A and B are shown apart, each in its own frame.
Chain A
Amino acid sequence: MISAAVLRGIGSLTRARAAFTAPLAVRCYSHAKVETDEEFDSRWVTYFSKPDLDAWELRKGMNTLIGYDLVPEPKILDSALRACRRLNDLASAIRILEAVKDKSGPHKEIYPYVIQELNPTLQELGISTPEELGIDKI
């Protein structure tokens, strides 16, 4: 003899089970918009392209960029090198190239690619690579 209350309880259970077959697309992720790679790149290119960028902003931008878990795109580096030119700072330009090589870590093919992409800018501005100056070795 099953009481009416128990029957009612079982009934609600069976009804609730139907709700668990809701669509799986609704997950508990953050609702923040994820920035695409292109947006990231253009944001940084714009940062370094500021005509009156001062030395502090260049240093801050570069140090922050190197802090990220990525190797910056050649177009960002091009913008940064031109900023060094505006600030008459050759040493920082060479340092940026060194930092890119260091950032690529074990992926040895990244740095030659970056240099190849930046070659027109390097020739135009007269920036020597660390290899040309011999500071890539002890």
Chain B
Amino acid sequence: MRRTRLCMEKMLASRALVRGLQSGFWRRVSTSSAAWAAHTHDVDVVDCSVPQYNNRLDTPLPDVPFVRNLSAEQKKLKEKEKGSWTQLTKEEKLALYRLTHELSFAEMRQGSKEWMTVLGGVFIFLGFTGLLVLWQRIYVYGDVPATLSPESVAQQTQRMIDMRVNPVHGFANKWDYEKKQWK
């Protein structure tokens, strides 16, 4: 009876410890990532229940602008956008474009040099494997059978000639039996 009570207390204590850890630790992590999620770019926690920004060639106008939380300066620029666009300088127009879009079409279309890295890595590992295989050939494999020595092969060839192996089109056909040499 006493043992089971002690056991229960230990269990409850450990569970409370875990719960405390969970609420303290996870709560801190979740609030900070909620704060980060106000940016629409490069977040670990992405809210998939609301429209997201995307760079796509076939969807030129994304669902939400790239930068959602505007600084005071950016808000002023947005106000200026409501007036005539002929008043905007090139830099301002570019700034407005970059507020709404992360990548331009040219930037979306550009490739990268990653394939060179990938190919290089593949070759490096293939080369390393080759070295391992070479080491294995030299240090792990035993001797080759005696029947592959030149003397043994000569005896074997002579036997094949004597047996007239493939005499019509093949092996023995190529041996000149009068002159005792290969044709």
Contact = CB atoms under 8 A, between A and B. Distances in A.
A8 interface: no
Interface in B103-124: 104-107, 109-110
Interface residues of A, number: 31
B82 interface: yes
Interface stretch (B6-14, B30-38, B57-65): B57-65
A58 to B, nearest CB: 7
B172 interface: no
A92 B93 CA distance: 11
A126 B61 contact: no
Contact of B104 (A88, A127, A135): A135
Interface band, chain B: 20 to 34
B85 interface: yes
Interface stretch (A12-20, A32-40, A62-70): A62-70
Interface of B: 57-63, 65, 81-82, 84-88, 90, 93-94, 96-97, 99-101, 104-107, 109-110
22 contacts: A58-B61, A62-B61, A66-B59, A66-B60, A85-B85, A90-B85, A90-B93, A90-B96, A91-B96, A92-B61, A94-B97, A96-B60, A99-B57, A99-B60, A101-B105, A102-B105, A126-B84, A126-B88, A128-B93, A133-B90, A135-B104, A136-B106
